[in-house]
A and B are shown apart, each in its own frame.
Chain A
Amino acid sequence: MFTRRLAVMVLAASAALTGAAQAADYPTRPVQYIVPFGAGGAAELASRVVSEGFTEILGQPFVIENRPGANGIIGTVFGAKAAPDGYTLLQANGATFSVNPLLYKAATYDPTKDFTPIGLVARQPYVIAVSAGLPVNNLAELIALAKQKNGALTYATGSTSHQLAGELFQKEAGIKLTHVPYNATNLALPDVISGRVDLIVTAAYTAVPQLGKIRPIAATSAERAKLLPDVPTFKELGYPNFVVEGWFGVSAPAGLPPEVVKTLNTALNKHLQQPKVKETFDKAGFEVTPSTPEEFAGFIKHELETGKSVVEAAGIEPQ
């Protein structure tokens, strides 16, 4: 919030140096980009790339504002209530849009109605990994062990969208696991490495440095994770309905004028096509997925429905 000044000056300077194209009318002043998580989380990279891209292409500083709290609910509620004038944008992700409204009463927003989707940014494959000491080498063995233990196997998650993957796993495989939530994945890792917790659902990217201490069993995305090409997907292993990924996107409060949406979407996709950006995301285990606003809206709906079916099947009540 304060040395925001410095960051703004730097961003503005870099925009000037790159000869940014000026949009005709929008934007004419700095834009606030709400990120509903604390600085330094998984959202960090995506939010920086996006805000820099907008700043470069549209010529006005797009400044990140972290509003953490309540698993992303606080910032998202704030974003929903802001004025739809294009000067407040919100970073949307799987946890806040597809899962939280189903799990938490405090998430009073409707992801399909209270927001104007601008565009998807990137998707991130998750993997289900086991502690190295667990005597399973593939998915079939894992499921067999889970059935045998009848709910005693524990799985760790660092965010609610990991939890969604975990619940979907139980539903599709017909098993019961005990859920151990953590506030962040890094807090879960020591427990999984030491074997106190049996499984973890995490981004492929997070699993890579821990290979040897944890063993990825299956990837939850539609295609194999680039960073873990040897890990089969659930789809390949016989669960065609099982596709869950982490995702980030840009959205705005409901009622944003269509021309502004178009300007933003075009700028966003233009930035995402740049090889430098693709490379940055690749290294972090993301897959860049530009989209149109309509595609993004459809995606959000689909995700929410997947979430609903999982939550209902698991019998979870909103708290």
Chain B
Amino acid sequence: MSTALRPLSNPGPLIVGAIFVASGLAFIIAARDYASGSALRMGPGYFPTLIASLLVFVGLMNIASSFRESVGAGVLHIAWRPLLVVSASVVVFSVLIVTTGLVPAIAGLILVSLFASRRPSWREALALIAVVEVICITIFHFLLGLQVELVRL
């Protein structure tokens, strides 16, 4: 039986390799505007280009290995829902803390993060918010003197 090239059955290293190659190339292109200088006087572009080239090389090796091994480690399952929930809650926090202050931002983050579980309970939510608010305000506002308004209306 010939060792047929079956990259699609070994997507992991292929994707990783592609990411490395793409990233490396991106940095090389971005560094093109910077002076490379010589080995004696390395300009800002010298070292990044060097490292990025190595990265491209590693990426190519990954891609090559995906062809060699016929069955490989697959891609692990991506946790879409938790990813979205956590991202949303951080975004909510970031927006709220600069516009409305510390207290609403904490509440917002906690409220959004409750969607991670399948049965969010309002009572639990309120209790959690209360506890976290008290702890955070005590530590960050009173003890450490963080210069963020508690509530900005």
By a beta-carbon cutoff of 8 Å, the part of chain A in contact with chain B is 1-6, 8, 319
Contacts and interface: CB of A to CB of B under 8 A. Distances in A.
Contacts, number: 17
Nearest to A6: B145
Contact of A2 (B35, B44, B145): B145
A162 to B, nearest CB: 19
A4 B148 CA distance: 12
Contacts of A6: 145
13 contacts: A1-B146, A1-B147, A2-B140, A2-B145, A2-B146, A2-B147, A3-B144, A3-B145, A4-B145, A5-B144, A5-B145, A8-B145, A319-B35
Given A2-B146, A319-B44, 7 more contacts: A1-B146, A1-B147, A2-B144, A2-B147, A4-B147, A5-B144, A6-B145
A106 to B, nearest CB: 12
B118 to A, nearest CB: 38
Contacts of B35: 319
Indicate the member of A2, A3, A8, A319 with the most B CB atoms within 10 Å.
A2
Contacts of A4: 145, 147
Contacts of B144: 2-3, 5
Contacts of B140: 2
A1 B147 CA distance: 7
A8 B140 CA distance: 16
Contacts of B147: 1-2, 4
Nearest to A63: B147
The 10 lowest CB-CB distance pairs between A and B, nearest first, are A5-B145, A2-B144, A2-B145, A2-B146, A4-B145, A3-B144, A3-B145, A6-B145, A1-B147, A4-B147
A319 B42 CA distance: 13
B143 to A, nearest CB: 8
Interface string B129-153: 0000000000010001111000000
Contacts of A3: 144-145
Contacts of A1: 146-147
A1 B44 CA distance: 32
B71 to A, nearest CB: 49
A35 B54 CA distance: 39
A155 to B, nearest CB: 15
Nearest to B35: A319
Nearest to B40: A178
Nearest to A1: B147
A8 B144 CA distance: 12
A176 B90 CA distance: 55
Contacts of A319: 35, 44
